Structure 1
Amino acid sequence: MADQELLYDLQLEGLDANAWLARVEEICGEIGYCELLGNHHLAMQIDAGPRLFVSFENIPSARKFNPEAAPRGWLLARDRGWSCLTILSKDPENWFRDPAIYAFFDRLIDDGYFDEFEDVLFYGAGGAGYAAAAYSVSAPEARVLALRPQATLDPARAPWDRRFMAQRRKDFTSRFGYAPMMLETASQAWIVHDPMVPEDAMHATLFEAPNTTLLRTPHLGLTPERDLSLMRVLDDMIDEAMDGTLDAASFAGYWRARQGHLPYLRTLFHMLEEDGRDRLLAKLCRFVLRDTNRPLFAKKLAQIEARGADATTMSQSEDA
């Protein structure tokens, strides 16, 4: 089909912000549908197969980090034959709290849009993860994969999260407001979070429910979408979430990819170095140096060995 050929030739890489947006609107006009939602958001729809991927993304991150500088849903529409609905924010930090978005989803509900699909998966990370959970109530029995989502930024419910002060002034108490409550109609939900980030861990506990699985990524930090993508496991996780087969056991297999992910290993390195845990640090350095020559790890290992630290006597329970 001509539409599929167009999807294979997105031509979005290397464009500045204005040219990127113009190209996106051009593609939408040819193979899908595009609608402005107020001054800060854009809805893009491509109808293909019987499975629908609903993603919330921001334009700066999509341009900088996504493969081919494309909305993630478009790549899945091309590679999996899924339909996709993408809600794009023009702002890098956005929780999609806009009456124009409420009205858009109200219209989709009234039109029975989500009823046309066999499977529906809502997806997002950070503020977009919040939005994926919150707006999933529009499609009862949908599935939700949210990376590092906030449950709410309402100061009355989350007074302990003061990281996003400008966003806290927005209304999180009206339509589609409290994300854990909106998830009650989902058939399955997965919340990926780093329990070592106190605020993220507290948000995750608010999502605890029979239909929700909490997936822990200790020490992965604040950019799980980027890191899981670089580990080459994010697309597989999305596939399993769409199928409804993602669980703690399958995620454990994906999470093992961190052992070859240098940013994660550097995070562990600096944490162990700061804590003065020489034996564990030496073991980490040896692990990294088995497969590659990394001067940072080699230099530190030499320093530890020169001090006479015995890294070989560690118990298995001390493994990083």
Structure 2
Amino acid sequence: MQDSADIFDADLSGLGWAEWCERANELAGDDGYAEQLGDRHAALLIERKPTLLVTFESFSRLPELSPQAQPFGWSMAKALGWSHLGLISATDTWFRDARVYGYFDRLIDDGFFDEFEQVIFYGTGPCGYAAAAFSVAAPGAKVVMLSPQATLDPRVAEWDDRFLRMRRVSFSDRYGYAPDMLDAAAEAVLLYDPEIELDAMHAALFTRSNVMKFRTRYLGYQIEPALLRMGVIQRLLAQVSANKLTRLSLAQLYRRRRQDTPYLISVLQRLMADDRIHLTILHCQNALARKVGGPRFRRALSLMRARAQEE
């Protein structure tokens, strides 16, 4: 049996797609497997405790989130002892592939999800779409999505011109329209930046009684790495699992941004771009007083004070 420490400490960086899948299968050992689903997708399973985290992740982004190029789900399995089922795509495919559909069909037929006391689906962007769409395979599951697309069907979302190549792909067949697939979910949480207009429009399509939407202004397209850096996602998933997540508790978690220098820099840039002199002064003073600012904040403070005196 593969030792847990070997799995979670393994370095998968620098490997190509096929090599990465082969190495992941070796690491899973008797506790799971890594199965390729055609040329562009793979499924990784590590079985532990009765909570199952199902993540959808892009292979090309693994090195951005993990120095060892490990799936994000492995960090949660290591920290909390959860089971993990990871669906990995070689590129951004939105997991629109008949082999992926067939894999989930097999899981349903085998009663796989029934073996766990709790199932949580997670993903961001194209993977957030997949987390919502495939959650229907496990009725009663919980879903956490970051900036997901609802669909790329041009009949519904022709206003989203970011992924034109995907308009040739069907989003109207099985596991298709993500908001409808959430009807069987116990609850879903959707985080997005309202400053990204197209993300906000997709978020509007997810308006459902069982979906809690939460705005994370100023994180932009870096919402996942920013929230991981702040430790928000890990604690959010833990609260979802413990049935303790509320809008208030999520807002309290998001207060961690006040200690995150990259986030404070984003706010500073926005204030200066909008020429908000006095707010910029207050923002810089606050950051410097809490020792999370640096030379950039001191320069901005000096500049804005001079501007204020001139006016």
Q: TM-score range by the shorter chain?
A: over 0.9
Q: In the alignment, what sits opposite 1:224?
A: 223
- Tell me, in whole angstroms, the C-alpha distance in 1 between the residues paired with 2:309 and 2:260: 26
Q: In the alignment, what sits opposite 1:287?
A: 286
Structure 2 matches for 1:296-311, cutoff 5 A? 296-309=296-309
- Tell me, in whole angstroms, the C-alpha distance in 2 between the residues paired with 1:132 and 1:217: 19
Q: How far does the alpha carbon of each residue in 1:179-224 deviate from its partner, in whole angstroms, 9 at most, with x for none?
A: 0000000001001111111111111111111111001111111121
Q: In the alignment, what sits opposite 2:56?
A: 56
- Tell me, in whole angstroms, the C-alpha distance in 1 between the residues paired with 2:200 and 2:142: 21
Q: In the alignment, what sits opposite 1:315?
A: none
Number of equivalences: 309
Q: In the alignment, what sits opposite 1:262?
A: 261
CA 1:284–1:174 in structure 2 vs 1: closer, same or farther (change >3 Å)? same
Q: In the alignment, what sits opposite 2:168?
A: 169
Unmatched runs of 5 consecutive residues or more in structure 2 = none
Q: How far does the alpha carbon of each residue in 1:147-178 deviate from its partner, in whole angstroms, 9 at most, with x for none?
A: 11111111111111111111232110000000
Matched, 1:23 2:23: yes
2:216 is matched by which residue type in structure 1?
T
Cα distance, 1:82 vs structure 2? 1.2
- Tell me, in whole angstroms, the C-alpha distance in 2 between the residues paired with 1:236 and 1:309: 45
| Secondary structure of residue in 2 paired with 1:43 | strand
- Tell me, in whole angstroms, the C-alpha distance in 1 between the residues paired with 2:2 and 2:40: 31
Matched, 1:203 2:212: no
Cα distance, 1:30 vs structure 2? 4.9
Q: In the alignment, what sits opposite 1:152?
A: 151
- Tell me, in whole angstroms, the C-alpha distance in 2 between the residues paired with 1:235 and 1:140: 23
- Tell me, in whole angstroms, the C-alpha distance in 2 between the residues paired with 1:109 and 1:75: 26
Structure 2 matches for 1:85-234, cutoff 5 A? 85-91=85-91, 93-234=92-233
- Tell me, in whole angstroms, the C-alpha distance in 2 between the residues paired with 1:305 and 1:86: 51
RMSD: 1.9
Q: In the alignment, what sits opposite 1:251?
A: 250
Conservation of the 8 A alpha-carbon contact between 2:236 and 2:245: yes
| Secondary structure of residue in 2 paired with 1:234 | helix
Conservation of the 8 A alpha-carbon contact between 2:194 and 2:216: yes
CA 1:97–1:220 in structure 2 vs 1: closer, same or farther (change >3 Å)? same
Conservation of the 8 A alpha-carbon contact between 1:279 and 1:309: no
Conservation of the 8 A alpha-carbon contact between 1:279 and 1:310: no
| Secondary structure of residue in 2 paired with 1:156 | helix
Runs ≥4 residues deviating over 4 A: none
TM-score when scaled to structure 1?
A: 0.91
1:41 is matched by which residue type in structure 2?
H
Cα distance, 1:293 vs structure 2? 5.0
CA 1:208–1:7 in structure 2 vs 1: closer, same or farther (change >3 Å)? same
Cα distance, 1:15 vs structure 2? 3.1
Q: In the alignment, what sits opposite 1:37?
A: 37
- Tell me, in whole angstroms, the C-alpha distance in 1 between the residues paired with 2:233 and 2:85: 19
Cα distance, 1:3 vs structure 2? 3.4
TM-score when scaled to structure 2?
A: 0.94
| Secondary structure of residue in 1 paired with 2:308 | coil
2:274 is matched by which residue type in structure 1?
D
- Tell me, in whole angstroms, the C-alpha distance in 2 between the residues paired with 1:37 and 1:248: 37
- Tell me, in whole angstroms, the C-alpha distance in 2 between the residues paired with 1:205 and 1:62: 29
Q: How far does the alpha carbon of each residue in 1:33-76 deviate from its partner, in whole angstroms, 9 at most, with x for none?
A: 12111110000111211111000001121123126431122222
Unmatched runs of 5 consecutive residues or more in structure 1 = 312-320
Q: Identical aligned pairs, as a percentage?
A: 42
1:186 is matched by which residue type in structure 2?
A
Q: In the alignment, what sits opposite 1:4?
A: 4
Out of 277-286 and 290-299, give the one that drifted further.
290-299
Out of 27-36 and 17-26, give the one that drifted further.
17-26
- Tell me, in whole angstroms, the C-alpha distance in 2 between the residues paired with 1:61 and 1:301: 36
